[in-house]
Amino acid sequence: MNLTARAPGKINLCLFLGPVRADGRHELVTVFESLSLADELTIEPAPADQVVCPGVNGLNIVAQTLDGLRRRGWDGPSVRVTVRKRIPVAGGMGGGSADAAAVLRAAQLLAPIDDATLTSLASSLSADVPSQLRPGPSIGTGAGDVVEPIDALAPHAFVIVPQGFGLSTAAVYREADRLGLSRDGPDLAGRLREIRAGAHPDYVNDLEPAALSLRPEIACALDAVRDAGAEHAMVSGSGPTVFGLYRGDDAARRAEAAAARLSDRYPGATSAVPVSEEFGAPRGS
């Protein structure tokens, strides 16, 4: 069986950074949203498991996903996974994690594997993979790997502005620690209560000052997005990708116009809309 799957990128509508945990990761409270900006995967029979990603040197998390499935007893056929990248690489939109999640969704169509095993493997691969296993809006707690689906928000759309460079997630978190950006436990718990009570998420990314400290030129992209009419402009996750939010029934049209306006200065600027679980469902042929 040949499969195709879309791997939607994610943005964090808010990201509140908490204390460092015993495992070295930070406690987080965040609201994830999956976007129509997606990588495309083809999965086809092969003599041995193989990962191909044109234009990108290595995609270890996808290879690790296949290896993790095998080690947990999955007996699907050997496959070649070809990844066509659309999500900015090292851009704070969870592109590699999205690809891993898409492979996990596809694995269920090739051979039986229970949901508990998939969830456990997703958490072991990256803190972002569980949030992308079933695309759609969700709250993330723990290190971002404890996921609670939530209802879709009012109509909105985004302009996405990639940068011409990447940022290491680990480096951004180290810089956040150096700058003392973490909130205390009670503050973090209060933010979580507000979100669970149905309050609209604050458009705050506690990692943004760290990303700006490492790459100050990101501020120019934030200003450009605001000048293009976005109601909110933020760094996506650990950066450096910037997004702008547009709300209302005509949000998609305005986001598309903003992307066209910004594309000369920021090649790769594009618009995107929120997507649900159905968007990422693998399809066979």
Sheet of 270-272, strand order: 232-235, 242-247, 156-161, 270-272
Annotated catalytic residue, options 39, 49, 99, 128: 128
Contacts of 186 (CB under 8 A, 6+ apart): none
128 is catalytic: yes
What's the CA gap between 50 and 41, in Å, rounded? 13
Find residue 234's DSSP bridge partners.
Answer: 243
Phi/psi at 138 (5° precision): -160, 160
145 is catalytic: no
233 CA to centre of own chain:
17
Contacts of 94 (CB under 8 A, 6+ apart): 9, 10, 87, 126, 128, 131, 132, 237
Q: Which residues are known catalytic residues?
A: 10, 128
